[in-house]
Amino acid sequence: MPAEIVGLGVAVPPYVLTNADLEELVDTNDQWITERTGIKERRVAGRDDSTALLGKRAAEQALKVAGIGIDEVDLVMVATATPDYTLPSAACILQLELGMTRGAAMDVIAGCSGFVYALATASQFVDSGAAETALVVGSETLSRICDYTDRGTCILFGDGAGAVVLRKGERGVRAFSLGADGARSRLLMTPAGGSRFPANSRTVAERRHYLVMEGREVFKGAVTAMAASSLEAIERSGLKPDDIDLVVPHQANQRIIEATARRLKTPMANVVMNVARYGNTSAASIPIAMAEAWEQGQIRPGQRLLLTAFGAGLAWGSAVVDWTLPNPAEPAPEEPTQPAMPIVRGLLDGTLWDGADMLPPLRAAVPEAAL
Ligand SMILES: CC(C)(COP(=O)(O)OP(=O)(O)OC[C@H]1O[C@@H](n2cnc3c(N)ncnc32)[C@H](O)[C@@H]1OP(=O)(O)O)[C@@H](O)C(=O)NCCC(=O)NCCS
């Protein structure tokens, strides 16, 4: 019996960074960004936000939709390239924030394909009976590794989170196809801050703890791999490409999505798009797009969805999902927004965290008997 999506949720920070804002930071302009990427604005997490905290808000919504209590969750997976800490995992911080006292928690690092990888993994746990209920969160604060002095990358990325709840059902995740090619890892990476080049004054001075990318090569790889893995996942699902009602692609760039759709012979009317409003939110982009499309009635029960993603690794993945969850009576009201520039300036000069506490609070004392 497959893993069924029984709840989903989305959370984005209120701070909006527009193309006009970026014109103040780097040598770029709205027309170039719009034509080359389709992106008009992206969100930036505030000082009091983080990957786990955005994930918490998305997860709480997803659990509410599912009508499931946090103590029923057996497995929490967070797909992210920007965990709150290198150690422990963002999934453990999310557990702490959700007040969850049982179950397993782990992160999945697969760049922008992280959500598809995590969905494929968690659905195996549910399908096999190893977990009855799984929470899969894609959450990112890419603003924290984005170099706002590099026009080749800073125009692309944004922050946000999406979450789904999985349970065993009649219909759900039908099939998936995952792939990776580590030989192309240099094309998109954060060079320092890991064990090979630990952070020190030199790595920081040389700005090597920021994400770097060879955009054109990544672009070519994305279109080829997303189209091929989509076709493989569709074949494994026992369906034909024509049977797919809606494609939810990773929201990297409008041109990548259009080129992939052309290869799949899918009209753009059947492709979910929100890259204009959020930019590339990496592992969060598919669950954010899915949750919004479902709230707005673009995703409906009875549809067959194709999810497809590509990113750092290089790693890619696609999944075919039978949608069963009834739409909400009405979409959630839009939250008020605020300008992100004060936050970005604080990120650039490091003043954003003046006076902030770097450690999460210890919520409850460990009982003596448990030691
Ligand atoms: C980043 C990306 C938008 C750049 O578009 P592109 O058409 O490949 O552009 P190029 O990098 O070849 O650069 C073309 C020119 O624009 C310039 N340019 C780059 N960024 C610019 C910007 N933000 N504003 C204005 N000009 C810019 C370059 O310097 C170059 O100028 P030159 O010809 O004088 O050298 C595109 O490669 C892309 O989207 N790649 C995939 C990125 C991605 O999605 N990564 C995540 C994967 S999940």
Is a pLDDT exceeding 80 seen at residue 370?
Answer: no
Q: How far is the CA of 216 from the centre of ligand 1 (A)?
A: 7
Candidate from 31, 115, 214, 216 with most ligand 1 atoms within 8 A of CB, to mutate: 216
> Could you tell me if the CB of 249 is within 6 A of ligand 1?
no
Identify the three-state secondary structure at position 310: strand
364: confidence class by pLDDT, cuts 50, 70, 90: low
Tens digits of residue pLDDT in 68-92 = 999 999 999 999 999 999 999 999 9
- Which pLDDT score, from 0 to 100, does residue 3 have? 96
- For range 150-168, the mean pLDDT: 97
Tens digits of residue pLDDT in 237-281 = 999 999 999 999 999 999 999 999 999 999 999 999 999 999 999
Atom of ligand 1 nearest to the CA of 37: 3
CA–CA gap between residue 211 and residue 141 (Å, rounded): 12
State the amino acid at position 172 in one-letter form.
G
- Which pLDDT score, from 0 to 100, does residue 299 have? 97
- For range 308-332, the mean pLDDT: 95
- For range 84-106, the mean pLDDT: 95
Atom of ligand 1 nearest to the CA of 151: 23
Domain boundaries, given as residue ranges, for the chain: 3-353
214: confidence class by pLDDT, cuts 50, 70, 90: very high
Q: What is the DSSP string of 179-230?
A: EE-GGGGGGEE--SSSSSS---HHHHHTTTTS-EE-HHHHHHHHHHHHHHHH
Kindly report the pTM of this predicted structure. Answer: 0.95
pLDDT above 70 as % of the chain: 98
Candidate from 35, 36, 42, 145 with most ligand 1 atoms within 8 A of CB, to mutate: 36
Q: Which CATH number fits domain 3-353: 3.10.20.90, 3.30.950.10, 3.40.47.10, 3.10.450.50?
A: 3.40.47.10
Pairing of strands 304-311, 315-322: antiparallel
> Could you tell me if the CB of 125 is within 6 A of ligand 1?
no
122: confidence class by pLDDT, cuts 50, 70, 90: very high
Tens digits of residue pLDDT in 172-199 = 999 999 999 999 999 999 999 999 999 9
> Could you tell me if the CB of 115 is within 6 A of ligand 1?
no
